[in-house]
Structure formats: structure tokens, C-alpha cells
Structure 1
Amino acid sequence: MSNTDRDDGGGAQQGGAPSPDALLPTLDEEQLGVLRWVGREWGRVSGDPEAWRRALPVDPDLGRYPAPSEILPVRFGRFVRVSPVGGQPSGVEATGEDTRPSRLGRVGSGVRHVLLGAPLRSTAIAYERMRKVVALPVLSADALSSVAYGPEAMLAVLVLGGASALSYSVPVAATIVFLMLAVGMSYRQTIRAYPHGGGSYIVATANLGRVPGLAAAAGLMTDYILTVAVSVASGMAAVTSAIPSLEPDIVAIGVVVIAVLLAGNLRGVRQAGVLFAAPTYAFVLAVFVLVALGLFDAADRGFQPVAAPRLTATEGVDVLLVLRAFASGSTAMTGIEAISNAVPAFRPTEWRNARTTLTWMVGLLIALFAGTIALVHLDGVVPSAKETVLSQLAHRAFGPGFLYVFTQAATAAILLLAANTAYNDFPRVLFLLARDNQAPRIFLRLGDRLAFSNGIILLSVAAAAIYAAFDGRTAPLIPLYAVGVFLAFTLSQAGMVVHWWRLRDRHWRKSLAFNATGALLSAIVFITAGVTKFTEGAWFAVLVVGLFILVTTRIRHHYDVVGKALELHPHAVEVPSRTITPPRSEDGAKRTNAQTSSPEPEAPTEAQSEAETEETPEEIHPLSIVPIATLDLAGMRALAYAASLQQPVLALHISPSEDEAQRFREYWREWGDHLPLKIVVSPYRTIVAPLVNYIESLHHQRPDLTLTVILPEIVVRHWRHRLLHNRLAARLRRALRPLPKIVVTTVPFHV
């Protein structure tokens, strides 16, 4: 079985892994030496490997799943039908859904299927390569939507100093524009250095170390949670500006919107190009028309600013006020790193298309932000508790007609799309943390609908709680937002400075200068936001980052302890204590010949399936299947136990990629290839679906066999540590319960 769902704590991030998502841990030379020694010990007590293969009563080569490149997306769906290995199974959902649950279970499953859709059987996720014209709106929604609240957040601070403070809006906005340009150029260098995708967590961990990487991850996750809360709050503000009667219900409506986003993402909605590009392009068009019309009207009066309403200053105009406004307005840069995370999603040449798209996005962001600030300055608009700044500008330019409604609808739509973008990135960061043993392994697991369900649920609960706690208001959320965003920016760009200093390839000085500038400016905003807004809520973001680092470090410590206990050590590996030999090869050959002589074995009738008539040992024909993730002590103990039964044994490894499958084959050969091995390369990137599918296919190939699935199981001392390990055996039992003559057992390994 693959590390995605294996029940152990091994597999720390290894430097030589073939891809950023590699799950199979790399064995160093010392462990390879122990593996060879264990293989020699096995060779002394086990029979001829070929005899074990001849003893198999089944043909393990049932076919293959298609390669990811062969799985082509349909028009609007994210999922594509995939023919199961071994033909079409019957009776069991490949995702592990029990087809004969209790009445309460049937009710629960029915409700879940109505809300989320039925579990996907024999399907795989199709990853489409996006053209630049599609990638731009899909990946830029978070950044471009911030124009709806970034300028207003800046003005909301300046207005506290009265009319004189509002005169600083243009120079502060100009500074933010320069910051956008500098950070955008910095991320162009990141894309060049990390053509397979380089988010803040990956870059900071690789170049600065584990703790800075965790700090970057904490900033990112805070950013994504607040992206959902702030986007929904801003979307509700856009709606209530047009329909004021909904104002008392914004908290309830916003929570319902988050629930809809939760359900949609649990169903596995794909960001289909046309569907998700439309709101972004509509918003860009609306703001450009608004700015153009507003500038045209201002030209008639010689670009003379309209006097702002009379304001009562509640604070003095000082450096602190200006810095707070700068930190608030800088939240217009959220989402600017999304393209550097998604480089593999572009069509070839991926990194070049990603850099081009990033340039377009930064250009659009600067134009929209600067245009909005220019109109605010020329029209004398100030923030209002009843109507957003963008709504006021649209009212002045368009009146209450169609264009005004279109602008507000487009604003609400892109803000909701920006919230949905976080649902893709937040579970991804959790997946990377779990892969590196810094988050519970449940976040590696795909759910019934092939989505990272646990991460999606956690994001929704956290965002809904924060949204409700702040009464659905955007302004109080901004101080929390800026700290997380610019912490991630700062660490990512600082990591890139170290990267170029170490690499020193062609143009490294220019790249280092860009990234150093981005790191410095991001650090200034981060410190400014942390200091000036500390009492307004930034303290909470700082506290969350600190607690996050503490918790993830403790999780990493536990997995390190378990991983150390699972490492191969001389004389610690269990080898069968007596000579083991497979069943007589002629029995296996006889069964295999009987199976091959009938091209289509007859499936048992319902009565035969329900009446399992074996009453004596001679009437039971066994086959042991050992799902194995990696050749550690727990896996070796399960193999030794299975072989000691002196029944036919088949080791089964499910790999998410051919590269990892080849690495496991090499380790298996180093061990000595003593038992038959079947490797299934699965497009599911999960364990239960392909494992159940394969076992079910073996059952239908030889329904007279009793299949015993033997799983290694980690047993921990403390209850709190149980949450960090998957309960694969229980899930398999539920999934395989409808099939007769299948036994699931575990071999415990205590740590």
C-alpha cells in the first residue's frame, strides 16, 4: 500500500525523492545494507522464490490503470471513468463504501450522497493543462478580487485622521503599487527556479530550514482561512450595498455560502475554464469601464478633485497612521503567489507560460488598484458603513441601472471565486505538511469524491467560525490578514535569496537582487502590520503562527520516534524462525491450470455466496495478501507472519506513480525477491479504492479461495497519538464485508 494511507509513522521527507509529491521514503546506504542482510537471512529459511510464485493459485497480473497522461478531462467534470483492474467488479464501492450498512448508516449515506454525490467508483481525477487565457482568470481571482477591499481598507484607516489624512492616499497607494511590482518580479524568479511549482512552504523549507518553512506554512494557512472569511464578507458587503434590506442577515447568509462552498468542493467540482473564468473577466471589464467612465467625467472638469464630505478626525495624522494605512492597503496583494504554486497546470512550456501569466496578472492588478484609487481621489469618495467604496463609485458613474447591478454582481462573483480558490490551496499545504510528517496523516487521504476532504472540512469550519466571530465585517478581519500574507511572502523571498546565493548560475545576481528587494519590502509590511495593528487583532495571527509551529513540531517529533522504531536494524528484523516452504507447487499449478482453462470463471450464485460451506481445513484453499507500503520493520513482520503460515503469499504495493513503483521494485530486489510481488500503479492517489478493487478482482477470478489480507498495524501508547495514524484495517473490513471468504487481519507493531 502507498504511504498515502499506510498506518505508520515512517517516511520523512527525503532529499533524493524524484518529485515534490513523492511518498515512498528513500532508504539510505545503511538501511539498504540491512535490507540485503535481512534478505540473506530470509534466503536461509525460505524456499525457492520461484516455488512461491508457482504456488500462487491466481494470476496476479490483472491489467493496469491508465497513466495520468491518458486520463483526459471532460467538458465540465473533474472525474473520468477508468476501467477497473481485472474487469468490472460487482457489489462493492471502490471507495470503501459498505453496501449493506445498518438502517442508520443507510440514512446517513443517503443524506451524504444527496449533498455530496455518490462515492466515485472506478474514476480518476483529470488534471487539465490550462492555456494562458484560461489560467489568468482562474489563478488570478484571489489577487484581482482584492481590489474590492484593499483600497477601502487603506482609506478606512486614513479617514480616521480627517480630510488632511486622505491627502496621503495617493502617495501611500503609489508605494503599494511599487510593492506589487517588486513582489511580482520576485515571483517571476521563483517560477524560473522552481518550474515544478514553488510555494512559500516548499521554498522556505528547502532554503531556510524546517522552522522557517513551518512559519511560512502557518502564514499561508492563515491567509487561506482569511481569504474565505474576507472574500465572503466583502461579497456580502457588495450584495448589501445593492440590497440594503439583507444587512441584518449577513452572518447567516455568509455561513450558508461557506457551507455551499464546502459541499461543492467535497463533491470535487473542477475549476472548469469557461465556468470559472467568466466572473474574473466580468469583474475586470466592469472595473475598467468604471475607471474609464470616471476619468472621462473628471476630464470634463479638468481633473479637479471633488471635495470630500466633511470629516471629523478621531486620530492625529502621524507616521503611525500612515503606516497602518499602508499595511491595510497592502492586502490588495493577496493571492499573488498562486501562479508560482500552479506551474505544472500550464501547457508546455510550463514555466515560461506561468511567468507570462504572472506578468499579465500583476499588470492588471496594478491597473485596477491604481485606477480605483485615482477615482476615489477625484470623486471625493470616503468609506461608509452602509455602502462599499466600489459601490459608491459605480453609483456615481452608472447610476442605479444595469451597469451598476452588473458591477456589484461581478464583484460578488469574483469574491466567491477567490474564496473557492483557497479550497484548492489549503488542503494542498496540509498534504505537503502531512507528507513531511508535520501534520496528521489523515490529511494525505482522499475522500469518497477524490478530494482532500479532511482539509476542506477544516478550512470551512475555521473560516465560518472567524466570519461569524467578526459579524461578517471585512474591516476587523484585515489586521489578521496582513500578518499571515506577508509572513509567507517574506520567508519565500528570503528563501529565494539563499537559493540564488548557493546556485550562482547565469543571471543569479539579477535574480537575487529582485528577490532581495521583494523580501525586504515584504518584511517591512509584515513588521508594520504586526506592530501597528497588534492590538487590533494582529496579536491573534502571531499567536496562531506560534501555536502552529509548536503543534507541528510535536507531531514531527512523534513521527520521528515512530520512524526510528520502524527503521531496519540488524538483528531487529523478524525472520521466520523455522524453515518455510510454499505449498506443493503441483497444487498451485493445478489450480492455476484450472483457472486458465476457464477463460471466464463462473461467478457464484447468491445462495452459494451466502452459504460458505467449508467445514474442515481440507476444504479451505487459502491465499494471503500482504499490502506493503515500505520495507520497514512493521512491513517485514507482516511478511514474516504471512510466510510462516506456509500458504501461498502475494505481496501487494500500490504506488501513485511509475517512478515510485520502480523505486519499490529496486528495494524489493535488494531484499532478495523472496515472495511474489504485484505493484499496482493507481491514478486514485489513495489506497482503499485500488486495494479493494484489486482484492475484489482476485475474488472474482477465484471465488473458491479464502483470501486473508494481512496488514501491518502501528499500536501507540497514548490515545492522542492514535489520531496521527490511519485505521486502514477498519476501513478495509467495512469495504470488503459484502464479499464472502475474505478475512482482514493485522500484525501489531508496538511503539
Structure 2
Amino acid sequence: MRKLVALPVLSADALSSVAYGPEAMLAVLVLAGTAGLGYSIPVAATIVFLMLAIGVSYRQTIRAYPRGGGSYIVASDNLGRVPGLLAAAGLMTDYILTVAVSIAAGVAAITSAVPSLASSSVLIGVAAIVVLLAGNLRGIRQAGAIFAAPTYAFVIAMVALIAVGLSDAADRGFHPVPHPPVNATEGLGILLVMRAFASGATAMTGIEAISNAVPAFKPVEWRNARTTLTWMIGLLVVLFAGIIAIVHYTGILPRSQETVLSQLAHVNYGSGPMYVFTQAATAAVLLLAANTAYNDFPRVLSLLARDDHAPRLFARMGDRLAFSNGIILLSILAGLVYVAFNGRTASLIPLYAVGVFLAFTLSQAGMVVHWWRLRDRHWRKSLLFNAIGGVLSAIVLITAGITKFTEGAWVALVAVALFLFVTTRIRRHYDTVAAALRLQRHSIELPRRTIAPRVDVPLQGVESSRDPRHPRDPQAFARTGAAGESEEAEEVPEEIRHFSLVLIETLDRAGMRALAYAASLQQPVLVIHVSTGEVEAERFRGQWKLWGDHLPLQELVSPYRAVIAPLVNYIEALHHQRPDLTLTVILPEIVMCQRRFSALHSRTAARLRRALRPLRKVVVTTVPFHV
């Protein structure tokens, strides 16, 4: 992406947060009455300083991780497995709440403009999540002017609103308009100010997005990413500070029936076209911000699945090259959270800060360790920036965890603890299964020659160095024979011609058992392996030379981690080239003695069986391996 496109696409989450971050801060301060509102400017100034510090620290992350440095990767690389999982827990919580909070704030913008829809806010929000689910399952991506337009429209609307508000304030000599009388419901104290600070700091969510997506930029990627991050931080600071300033000068207070932005637009524009434009742009960018989580949540979940901390089905892409299972899970969890909190932004905000700043803290701590180990040019300056960012993030994390614990932060803390428990148990299970499946030296007696099975029906057009009935080249074997589709007329054993296809993902005891079963049928055998790239293909070839080189091998490359589609395409081509053959597809299957772990293992056989069902004379069988 060019910087002009990357800026709105990757900044939508961060910039849209000014629609609810300042309001969340003011909603806490107003509890202390007029005295509490007097702290709005100092608290906002502290948040602006935090934005600048975190932005500078993420510039160092982009330089150190030019291929993308999310919190999970940085923390895992530099701090270890458990901190990496904690960072992932913070990210996952952040993404779920990004959808819920953005939808809630977007619906609030709509209901502020059309109050008659307020009673249907939950239904509207759920419908929006369903639309996002359907669109992302269809493979919609954030790219180009379609996704850039809402963010630019929102920035223009906010800049215009701030300019008009400050212009009116200048006409009054920058004297604030007195706000309505406010009765204090809580005493003004350090805890209330810290709560306001933690609520307002939610305006920083989404800052990490650019450091995650460095490879998406045009060359030089890291330099363009840093420039884009600088522009994003600059815009975020201007919008956040500007909104706080005009709120201060216009004397507006948070209200449950109407958002602060809507009140500001009403004061400055009335109910005319500019008011409608402001509300429409706000709702659009918030929905776009929710959609950014649909790119990031499944990707982080796929990284966890790759590292055996999540079910491996989340590492699999769908036909639209999207992580469909992760998209569905995100929609379900975000929908449940949204409904449970009745779609109220104020109720969701206390959950938000914990996940966001847990990921920030661990990412910056990981970068401190990274620079200390590397010690390259300018490492001291980079370490200092990341250390400041990490300390400030930790302060916000602790503040949010303490001051908002009873308001809902405990839910996020419990979710993080539960996530850590589940992911470690999943990793322990996969390690146990891997140990049970691992091939040991001399544990299996390997055939000393190529298997030449006895076949009663001659196979025409097949060459072999040992037996004219055994194919040396399975592809040549498949290319010969009748071109037309034969009838399924085999009713006696002598009329059936077999060809066995063994699907092997990795060479382990389960795979060797499937190979042994196929060889025992005394029919021609072809082994098929699907690789996700040349590195994995090379690794498998090395294993194959040691353990399985007595059988012919066909490798299929699927760089998008799709397995079923390339297998079906290959088997279908084989079937059409030799319709006289009965193809027996043999797969190893892991059978768990404890059924609760069954969901952690693939259902490739069932999915392949459904996909191949329309083909004649194709049999799918599994060879179980019990663990």
C-alpha cells in the first residue's frame, strides 16, 4: 500500500477512538461535579504525552521488526512463552472489545441523530456484526479508496468541527461557556482522577496496527511504515486534544441520550447537512474500525495455532483465503459481549484498557530486552524510548486494573487468566501427542526395496524397472488409459482395479501406519503431501529420504495453508484421466482416548469425504492411531 492508502486503512481503529475516548474520560470526571471537570485539561494533556511516548516507542519496534512486530511475536521472541501468551491474551481481548465498542459507539452515533432508533440499538449492533461476519467470510479486504474514504471523511469532519468550535471560542476571547449545574455523586480524589485517565487512554487503541502490517507497505517498507505511524500519531493528538478543548469551551457535558460529538455538532452546525455528515462519518469510521479486528484477530489466532497454543483448525484458510474459523469465533465472542452489556459504550470501556495496555506493556518490555541483546547503532536511544513507553503503559495497566476492577475490569483479567490456562493446556496436549507419534530410530524396519505389489488386472501403459504392473511414475500411470467416464458396473472383485493414494501431512507413527496399511493391500500406491511452502517441502523431503523413499511421492504446494482444495483438484484430475480405476484415498486419523481433546485435531477425512462424494469410484478410508 501507498502511504496515502495505508494511513486511513491502518489508522481507522486509532483515529475512530476519539469518538468515545474523550467522552469516557469526561463521564468519570463529571461524577465529581464542577471540581472534577476542572481536571479534564491536565488529564487530557497527560494522555497526549502518553500517545507521543507510545508512538515513538513503536517507531523503534518497526525498525527492529521490518517483517511485522506484533505484541505476541515481540514478547515471545524476547521474553519467553508465557509473556508471549499474556500479550496474545491482551491482543485477543482488545480485538473482541474493538468490535463490541466500535459497534456500540457507531450505533450511539446513529441513535443520537435518530433518537427513535434508540430502543433497537442492540438489534442494530448485532445486525452490524452479522454483516461484518458475512463480508469477511466472503473475503473482503481493507484496501483502496473504498476503505480509505470513511477515515478521511471522519478526519475532515473532526478537523472542521474543531476549527469551527475554536473559531467560536476565539470570538468570545476563549472564555468557556458555563456548563449546567452538576451535582457531585463521588468525592474528588486520586482514584477518580486515575479512573478518568484510564478511561481516556482507551483513545490509544489501534496504535499497534501499523507495526503489525509493515510488509503491506511499498518499499522501503519499514521507512514508509514509520512515516505513516508518525502521521497517525500526529492526527490522533490533534483530534483528541481538539475535541477536549472545544468541549471545555462550549460547556458540554456527557449525556446518556446523546454522544458528546453529536452535542458538539449540534452546537456548531445545528441540524443541517454538516451535522448529518459528521454523524454519518463517525458511524462509518467506527464500523470500519470494527472491521480491522477481523483482519488482526484471526491472524494472531493462526500464529497461536501454528505454535500449538490453539486448535490447529484456526491455522487453516478458507476458500476465500481468509481464516474463516477465526472470523466466526470473533463474531460470536464480540456478539456475546455486545449483548451482555446491552450495547452500552460506557459499560464496555472499563474492560477495554486492560487488554490494550497489557499488550503494549509486554511489547515494549520485549523491545527493551531486544535492544539490550542486540546493541547495534543507536541502541541506547531506542532502548530508552521503549523503556519509557513500557513504564507508562504499565502504569496505565495497573491503574485500570485497580480503579476499574469492580466496574468490569475483573472480567478482562479473568479472561486473560483463562486464556493463559487454556493455551498452556492445549500446548501440553499437543506435546504429549507429538511424543506419542514421534518416530524413533530403529523403531520401524524399513523395506529394502521398492514395493512391487501383485496386481491381477494388467495396467496398460505403465512402466516399471521391477514389475510391468507397478508404476515407477504415478503421474505417467494416471495420464494413460481411457479418456471417457466409465460406468460403475463392478459387482465382482475381479472387475475392480485399485489405485491407493495415501495422504501424509507429516512422517510420524500414524503416517507410517497408514503407509503400512496401504502397502499391505498389494496395490499400486502413491503418497501425496501438501506443503505450505518450499521450506516445509524441503524439510519433508529430507524426512522422506530417510523413512519413506520406497514409495512414489507427489508433492502439492499450497502457500495459503489450504489443504482440501488442492487435494480435491489433484484427485479429480487423476480420476478423469483414469476413470477405469477405483481410487482409494487413505488418511491417518488421530483418535483420542479422552474425547474432550478431539476438537484439537483436524477433521480432514470428513471434509475430504464430503468434497469427493460427487466423484464415482473414489473411496475415502482412515487408519486410526489411538493416543
Shorter-chain TM band:
over 0.9
Amino acid paired to 1:151: P
* Between 432-441 and 407-416, the greater mean CA deviation after superposition: 432-441
| 2:231 is the alignment partner of 1:360 | yes
How far apart are the structure 2 equivalents of 1:596 and 1:735?
23
Trace 1:629-648 onto structure 2 (pairs within 5 A): 629-648=505-524
- Candidates 652, 671, 676, aligned match of 2:552: 676
- Candidates 587, 609, 622, aligned match of 2:469: 587
Change (3 A) 1:305 1:594: closer
Trace 1:46-445 onto structure 2 (pairs within 5 A): 130-445=1-316
| Deviation of 1:666 (Å) | 3.0
Q: What SS does the corresponding residue of 1:744 show, helix, strand or coil? A: strand
Amino acid paired to 2:468: E
- Candidates 590, 594, 603, aligned match of 2:484: 603
Q: What SS does the corresponding residue of 1:723 show, helix, strand or coil? A: helix
- CA-to-partner distance for each residue in 1:491-537, whole Å, 9 max, x for gaps? 11111111111111111111111111110000000000000011111
Q: What SS does the corresponding residue of 1:162 show, helix, strand or coil? A: helix
How far apart are the structure 1 equivalents of 2:538 and 2:477?
32
- Candidates 564, 567, 572, aligned match of 2:443: 572
Give the structure 2 partner of residue 616 of structure 1.
493
How far apart are the structure 2 equivalents of 1:650 and 1:683?
22
How far apart are the structure 1 equivalents of 2:550 and 2:215?
39
* Between 691-700 and 453-462, the greater mean CA deviation after superposition: 453-462
Q: Is the 8 A contact 1:231 1:416 kept in 2?
A: yes
How far apart are the structure 1 equivalents of 2:279 and 2:54?
29
* Between 548-557 and 580-589, the greater mean CA deviation after superposition: 580-589
- Candidates 709, 714, 722, aligned match of 2:590: 714
Q: What SS does the corresponding residue of 1:626 show, helix, strand or coil? A: strand
| Deviation of 1:578 (Å) | 11
| Deviation of 1:580 (Å) | 4.3
Give the structure 2 partner of residue 38 of structure 1.
none
How far apart are the structure 1 equivalents of 2:19 and 2:31?
20
Change (3 A) 1:649 1:579: closer
How far apart are the structure 2 equivalents of 1:440 and 1:329?
36
How far apart are the structure 2 equivalents of 1:578 and 1:356?
61
| Deviation of 1:476 (Å) | 1.0
| Deviation of 1:613 (Å) | 2.3
* Between 423-432 and 404-413, the greater mean CA deviation after superposition: 423-432
Q: What SS does the corresponding residue of 1:249 show, helix, strand or coil? A: helix
Change (3 A) 1:747 1:593: closer
Q: Is the 8 A contact 2:590 2:624 kept in 1?
A: yes
How far apart are the structure 2 equivalents of 1:406 and 1:352?
35
Q: Is the 8 A contact 2:30 2:184 kept in 1?
A: yes
How far apart are the structure 2 equivalents of 1:530 and 1:210?
23
Amino acid paired to 2:25: M
Change (3 A) 1:304 1:596: closer
| Deviation of 1:679 (Å) | 1.2
- RMSD between superposed Cα atoms in Å: 1.9
- CA-to-partner distance for each residue in 1:196-224, whole Å, 9 max, x for gaps? 11111111111111111111111111111
Q: Is the 8 A contact 2:490 2:496 kept in 1?
A: no
| Deviation of 1:575 (Å) | 4.4
Change (3 A) 1:298 1:589: closer
Change (3 A) 1:589 1:499: closer
How far apart are the structure 2 equivalents of 1:593 and 1:323?
74
Trace 1:739-750 onto structure 2 (pairs within 5 A): 739-750=615-626
- CA-to-partner distance for each residue in 1:666-705, whole Å, 9 max, x for gaps? 3323446322111111244211111111111111111112
Amino acid paired to 1:439: A
Gaps of 5+ in 1: 1-129
Give the structure 1 partner of residue 392 of structure 2.
521
Amino acid paired to 2:279: Q
Q: Is the 8 A contact 2:301 2:314 kept in 1?
A: yes
Amino acid paired to 1:662: E
Change (3 A) 1:246 1:411: same
How far apart are the structure 2 equivalents of 1:215 and 1:369?
29
Change (3 A) 1:658 1:413: same
Change (3 A) 1:574 1:246: farther
Gaps of 5+ in 2: 455-465
| Deviation of 1:191 (Å) | 1.1
Change (3 A) 1:245 1:592: closer
How far apart are the structure 1 equivalents of 2:552 and 2:384?
56
How far apart are the structure 2 equivalents of 1:612 and 1:693?
25
How far apart are the structure 2 equivalents of 1:275 and 1:595?
47
Change (3 A) 1:191 1:613: same
Give the structure 1 partner of residue 568 of structure 2.
692
| Deviation of 1:288 (Å) | 0.4
| TM-score when normalising by structure 1 | 0.79
Q: Is the 8 A contact 1:576 1:644 kept in 2?
A: no
Amino acid paired to 2:581: L
| Deviation of 1:242 (Å) | 0.7
- CA-to-partner distance for each residue in 1:245-288, whole Å, 9 max, x for gaps? 11111111111111111111112212231111110000000000
Amino acid paired to 1:739: L
| Deviation of 1:309 (Å) | 1.5
Amino acid paired to 2:611: A
| Deviation of 1:448 (Å) | 4.6
Give the structure 2 partner of residue 25 of structure 1.
none
* Between 337-346 and 583-592, the greater mean CA deviation after superposition: 583-592
How far apart are the structure 1 equivalents of 2:355 and 2:546?
46
Give the structure 2 partner of residue 733 of structure 1.
609
| 2:531 is the alignment partner of 1:650 | no
How far apart are the structure 1 equivalents of 2:352 and 2:118?
23
How far apart are the structure 2 equivalents of 1:388 and 1:594?
71
Q: Is the 8 A contact 2:450 2:550 kept in 1?
A: no
Amino acid paired to 1:657: G
| Deviation of 1:589 (Å) | 6.5
Q: Is the 8 A contact 1:576 1:643 kept in 2?
A: no
- CA-to-partner distance for each residue in 1:134-187, whole Å, 9 max, x for gaps? 111111100000000000000000001111111111111111011111111111
Higher RCO (CA-CA < 8 Å; seq separation 6+)? 1
Give aligned pairs, total: 615
Q: Is the 8 A contact 2:452 2:470 kept in 1?
A: no
Q: Is the 8 A contact 2:70 2:363 kept in 1?
A: yes
Change (3 A) 1:297 1:192: same
How far apart are the structure 2 equivalents of 1:423 and 1:577?
52
How far apart are the structure 1 equivalents of 2:478 and 2:21?
69
Name the structure where helix makes up a greater proportion of residues. 2
Amino acid paired to 1:233: A
Change (3 A) 1:596 1:387: closer
Change (3 A) 1:237 1:727: same
